[in-house]
Structure 1
Amino acid sequence: MTKLDWRQLVTGLGACAVLGMAATSVSAEEPKHGGTLRYGTVSEVVSLDPHVYGGSAWKVLIEALYSPLVGYDKTGKIVPRLAESWEQPDARTVVFRLREGIAFQDGSPVTADDVKFSLDRLLDPATGATLRSNLQDATVTVIDDRTVQVQKASSDATLLSVLALPEAAIVSRKWVESGVNLKLQANGTGPFMLKAYEPSVRASLERNPKYFIKDQPYLDGVDFRMIKSDDARVNALRSQSLDMIDFVPWKDIDVLSRNAAFKIDTAGGAFMSLWFNATSKPFDDPRVRRAIAYAVDRDAISKAAFFGHGKAITGAPTPEDSPYFNADLEGTYKRDVAKARALLAEAGHANGLDMSMLVFQGLGIYTATAQIVQANLKEAGINLKLEPVEWATLVERKNRGDYQSMIYGVSVKLPDPDAYAYYIGADSSYWAKPIGYQDKELEALLAQGREQTDVEARKPIYHKVEQRILETSPWVFVNWREQAQGYSRKVQGYQQLGGALSESSPGISLPTMWLK
């Protein structure tokens, strides 16, 4: 068997964006142990199940509490986590060798049987796991107590990249089968242990003395406070009742950046989009979805909702520095109200139509974006009713398909162009199922791309993928947005990442963060 080269796999959507990361907060001082980081996050965490995605704050918590077999470091490189090494004998197989002597936080040893149980749990439809569709048809085989093989039915260039995501966390079989509630309790191998948890309110973590990386973490603990109000989060940072906040409101980025007491790190990689329930009329008709795509004023949203910290997406959401970027698709959806009205008439809505849209009311960018979209659609003959909801309600209604349309901000989840399959591929997937979109032509193209391991051979396939997505518009891509984390100058060791890792920046940084 040949040793796996991570560089062959961490390619594609967002991978190159990682190279353009924001500057790290580097200190000449040696890191110091001790202290509790007080972290304010906008999104509410309602479940700690490590296999079912629950928002950006959920992801940070899961990365702190659990570990996958491999993970990403601050450069975007795939590095060892629970596995000390891995080999790839062919393009559909990875063999992992576990570290010796690692244990869960309850003291029980981590074995290959726990790995198999965890990945089989991901594949079980009853779990509702986020990565189920990515790992579908995978077979997990225990070779010995420290060796496990993961094999797909056919070549899959994304396999290792998927297994490096936090959602592929390894759990204790004995602990889970004892009947614990994974939504409220945690027993992982991460740098921190769960001390207390109040859903939607706060989570307190303490240092895991058995963490497998020597001397890490530096912090004694992390206190997560879930604060949905933009102004309340910023005021808590200013008053020093918090050390760090996520999602610095876009209206405050420039002001806080000029304050010497704080550091504001920004990076790209996240974007805003409009989602439709394709099982609900009139959104089962791609002409209606395309009409909305033409009606939206992306430049106005970037300027007004994001205070200039945004950039219109008129083609596909692939960064310009990605090897898969297709310049000829730029300008596909420039604002054209006449074309929007013509498509609506062609779809049988010459007299206009009424529709509703879920809007997360915790972030100002959602409300401002919704109001601009509402005005845009009015000009095209569409009466849009806005439904402001809490984050937990939005996720719940999304997951059960109880909506007509919604605004959703996402980052590219996978450093590979197969990320499209993650979101709008097979209808059985965690992300794709709620939108009810199915397209056999797109599915065939995504399967072709997944089976190819050569970048040059994959490029024309993903060009066709993006063409098909723009033709059918299951989502309307609105704009890239800069994402900012704000923190006190005493917080050291943090780095805001770009591209596919933007959402994981706090989780990746936490073990090496310290308080000055």
Structure 2
Amino acid sequence: MTNELNRRGFLASTMATAGGLAFLGPRGAFAQDGQTLRFALSAFPPNFEAWTSTGTAAGTIKLLMHRGLLSYGPDGMLRGELAESWEADDEGAWVFKLRDATWHDGSPVTAEDVAWTIAEVANPDNAAFRQGQLSLITSVETPDDKTVRMITDEPLAVLPGWFAHYHMPILKKGEPKDTRIGAGPFTLEEIDRGVSISLKAYDGYYKDGLPKVAGIEAIVYADENLRVAALEAGDVDLAEYVPWQAMAQVEENDALKLDVVDGPFMYLTFNASRPPFDNPLVRRAAAHAIKREDIVAAAFYERGGSLEHLPIAEQSEFYNPEFSNAWNYDPEKAQELLTEAGYPDGFTCTMLSTAQYGMHQSTAEVCQAYLSMIGINVQLDLPEWSSRVQKGNEGQYDLAIMGTTADNNDPDGLVNVVDGSLPASFVRSFGMPTPEITELFARGRASFDSAERKEIYRELERVAIETAPIVGLAWRAQGYGMQANVNGFSNLPGQLTFYSGITMEDTFFG
């Protein structure tokens, strides 16, 4: 009885169904403005594979074309998309009820599409972002076209959130994973590789009256200064990744608006498949060698903060103050750890970052300078973003600079950054098993009791501090700039900022 009450309480407090957010009625007029939104994209997507993690710019394009079972609203709360409701039944299985929706070819979205998507993503040969999590779904039942029942061996309190991520859209059964056919608000019309992506409003979208613009022209401005110049000149209506040095000038321009939130973070990843970073003492030495205030100043113009622990925000109920300075700047301790690890004179290594995003390069340069002070001679590798992603996936580095957010504001949202049991990905360390952490994540996601979860994640952070599967460096602000007449777009709160493309369906001129 106690477990049942805990489960129901958990559902009521954190994962309420989307009944109040249902999109009712037949589709009405779309593209109310009749205009095309010009969006400054920071990078051309390395590919259009729906389930692969290839960065935020690619994720934004996915959010225009595709939809998952769930998503997040501007308030940061989980909401229904292709699913109009979801709940755990008395046997612990998650049951999703689908709404009436169609693919871009006009055919209906069905439970069979969802079941096929889950099977494809869970296939270990697929290298999908959610492969590790969806492999925990042991079977999927489709009693009718609108019902999907997901069965797991153990209770999974966090399962609905897996289906809200922009790398976890539902695809039509049998379509290739880079298909242009989605169920989102826009259809992909034209690609000018490396230059722009043109999308057109889908007149069969399941939300009445949306999208509010006739189309989106996503134009690549890889140079952040040119991206700001295009915004100031009126050549684009909306721009992602406003660089930190330009945020004040955008705020002070009466013709523009800046929507900025804190949430993303910068961190170090390591290639643990070979020395020297296979040794946790060396990883901890790197953690204590770096003065993070200098990263915040150099890379983010003071729009951020030091991060000396796992990226769990101070405002979170899961924040552990005893770990707040666990990886503090302490060069003497760093030198002692290097000596203990067998490297008293240091060593030479390669640090992977990218020159495409100034904050990545600046963070790398600060780290390079401080690591040299304890005898670690760092050579920087700064390719463009798509090459940086590939090198990260393949382990072509010794240590690397990375910046991202957690999947959501729950500690389980860090699983893709920290859990070494998942397939290789540029967002986490390469070749680094994390058995204790993997087991603690499993315990945390199985519990519906908040107090129990807090204790589990406290122990997980303690283990992470000791083993350093990643090393936190800095929190950072994340900003979108837009013309003053652009409305409806919202930069989602905290760790959800990279989901903000979901609100382009609501964006309009006025």
Please tell me the TM-score bracket, short chain as reference. over 0.9
How far does residue 336 in structure 1 lie from its aligned partner after superposition? 0.9
**Distance in structure 2 (CA, Å) of the matches to 1:366 and 1:209:** 40
Distance in structure 1 (CA, Å) of the matches to 2:360 and 2:470? 16
Residue identity opposite 1:106 in structure 2: D
2:446 is the alignment partner of 1:447: no
Counterpart in 1 of 2:278?
284
Query: Which shifted more, 473-482 or 81-90?
Result: 81-90
Distance 1:4 1:279 in 2: 43
Deviations 1:209-265 (A, max 9, x none): 000000000010011112210111111111111111111111111122111111011
Which shows bigger deviation, 193-202 or 247-256?
193-202
Match of 1:17 in 2: none
Greater shift after overlay, 210-219 or 165-174?
A: 165-174
- Residue among 321, 329, 334 paired with 1:340: 334
Give the letter for the 1:335 counterpart.
Y
Please report how far the alpha carbon of residue 299 of structure 1 lies from its aligned counterpart in structure 2 after TM superposition: 0.7
Cα distance 1:480–1:90, how it changes in 2: closer, same or farther (>3 A)? farther
For structure 2, the 5+ residue unaligned runs are 17-30
Q: Partner of 1:268 in structure 2?
A: 262
Please give the secondary structure, in 2, of the residue aligned with 1:398: helix
In 1: Cα distance, 2:494 partner to 2:344 partner: 41
Quote the Cα distance in structure 1 between the aligned partners of 2:8 and 2:421: 35
Checking the alignment, whether the CA contact within 8 Å between 2:38 and 2:237 is kept in structure 1 is yes
Q: Which residue of 1 aligns with 2:472?
A: 477
| Partner-residue secondary structure (3-state), 2:210 | coil
After superposition, where does 1:236-315 map in structure 2 within 5 Å? 236-315=230-309
Structure 1 residue 219 corresponds to structure 2 residue 213: yes
CA–CA distance in structure 2, aligned partners of residues 208 and 248 of structure 1: 29
Looking at structure 1, the residues matched to 335 and 428 of structure 2 have their Cα atoms a distance apart, in angstroms, of 29
Residue equivalent to 1:121:
120
Counterpart contact for 1:131–1:429, Cα < 8 Å: no
1:172-206 deviation per Cα after TM superposition (whole angstroms, max 9, x unaligned): 114x1xxx5x43x4101101000012343321110
Corresponding residue SS for 1:418: helix
SS in structure 2 opposite 1:392?
A: helix
Partner Cα separation in structure 1 for residue 486 and residue 118 of structure 2: 36
CA contact (8 A) 2:262 2:304 kept: no
Residues 430-466 of structure 1: per-residue CA shift (max 9 Å, x gap): 5477522112222222221111111111101100101
Alignment map for 1:484-503 (pairs within 5 Å): 484-503=479-498
Is 1:158 matched up with 2:179? no
- Contact 2:416 / 2:428 at 8 angstroms: preserved in 1? no
Tell me the amino acid that sits aligned with residue 322 of structure 2.
D
CA distances 1:18-46 after superposition (whole Å, capped 9, x unpaired): xxxxxxxxxxxxx9422111111213202
Report matched runs for 1:126-205 at 5 Å. 126-138=125-137, 139-174=139-174, 176=175, 182-183=177-178, 185-205=179-199
List per-residue Cα deviations over 1:252-297 (Å, max 9, x = no partner): 1112211111101110110001111111210000010000000011
Cα distance in 2 for partners of 1:423, 1:95 equals 28
Which amino acid in 2 is paired with 1:445? L
Q: Is the 8 A contact 2:111 2:148 kept in 1?
A: yes
Structure 2 residue identity aligned to 1:111:
T
Larger mean CA deviation between 428-437 and 155-164 belongs to: 428-437
In structure 2, the residue matched to 1:20 is none
Structure 2 CA distance for aligned equivalents of residues 317 and 496 of structure 1: 20
Alignment: residue pair count: 489
Confirm or deny: 8 A CA contact 1:115 1:171 kept in the other structure. Answer: yes
SS across alignment from 2:244 = coil
Q: 2-side partners of 1:10 and 1:301: how far apart? A: 37
Q: Which amino acid aligns with 1:135?
A: L
- In the alignment, is residue 436 of structure 1 matched against residue 440 of structure 2? no
Determine the structure 2 residue equivalent to 1:67.
67
Letter in 1 for 2:462: Q
1:410 corresponding residue in structure 2: 404
Paired residues of 2:288 and 2:333 also in contact (CA < 8 A): yes
Q: Aligned letter for 1:155? A: P
RMSD: 2.0
SS of the residue corresponding to residue 314 of structure 2 reads coil
Letter matched to residue 108 of structure 1: S
CA contact (8 A) 1:46 1:199 kept: no
- Aligned residue in 1 for 2:22: none
**Deviation at residue 124 of structure 1 after TM alignment:** 1.0
Counterpart of 1:27?
none
* Residue 87 (1) aligns with residue 87 (2): yes
CA–CA distance in 1 between the matches of 2:474 and 2:170?
35
2:198 maps to amino acid: S
Amino acid at match of 1:310: G
Q: Is contact 1:3–1:86 with CA below 8 Å preserved after alignment? A: no
Distance 1:311 1:434, change over 3 A: closer
Structure 1 residue 106: Cα displacement: 0.8
1:381 is matched with 375
Answer yes or no: is the 8 Å Cα contact 2:408–2:495 preserved in 1.
yes
SS for the counterpart of 2:389 is helix
1:407–1:160 CA distance, 2 compared to 1 (3 A):
same
Query: Structure 1 stretch 87-96 or stretch 292-301: which is displaced more?
Result: 87-96
Counterpart Cα distance in 2 of 1:440 and 1:223: 45
Correspondence for 1:327: 321
Is the 1:442–1:465 contact (alpha carbons within 8 Å) kept by the matching residues of 2? yes
Matched, 1:316 2:310: yes
Give, in whole Å, the separation in 2 of the partners of 1:477 and 1:91.
39
Unaligned runs of 5+ in 1: 12-30
Scaled by the length of structure 1, the TM-score of the pair is: 0.91
Residues 307 and 430 (structure 1), Cα distance of their counterparts in 2 relative to 1, 3 Å cut: same
Shift of 1:313: 0.8
Query: C-alpha distance in 2, partners of 1:204/1:299?
Result: 41
Aligned to 1:21: none
What's the CA shift for 1:306?
A: 0.8
Secondary structure, aligned partner of 1:435: coil
Letter in structure 1 aligned against 2:229: N
Question: Partner amino acid for 1:113?
Answer: E
Do the aligned residues in 1 keep the contact of 2:32 with 2:214 (CA within 8 Å)? no
Out of 407, 413, 417, the position equivalent to 1:419 is 413
2:134 aligned partner, one-letter code: L
* Structure 1 Cα separation of the partners of residues 209 and 441 of structure 2: 43
Q: CA deviation at 1:168?
A: 2.2
Q: Secondary structure at the match of 2:353?
A: strand
Alpha-carbon distance, 1:137 to partner: 2.3
> Which contiguous aligned blocks of 4+ residues in structure 1 show a shift greater than 6 angstroms?
1-5
Contact 2:40 2:236 (8 Å CA) reproduced: yes
More deviation, 437-446/64-73: 437-446
1:96 aligns with 2:96: yes
TM-score w.r.t. the length of structure 2 is 0.92
Instruction: Return 389-398 or 420-429, whichever deviates more.
Output: 420-429
- The alpha-carbon distance between structure 1 residues 3 and 443, as it changes in their structure 2 partners (threshold 3 A), is closer
Q: Structure 1 98/428 Cα, relative in aligned 2: closer, same or farther at 3 Å?
A: same
Q: Distance in 2 between matches of 1:497 and 1:97?
A: 26
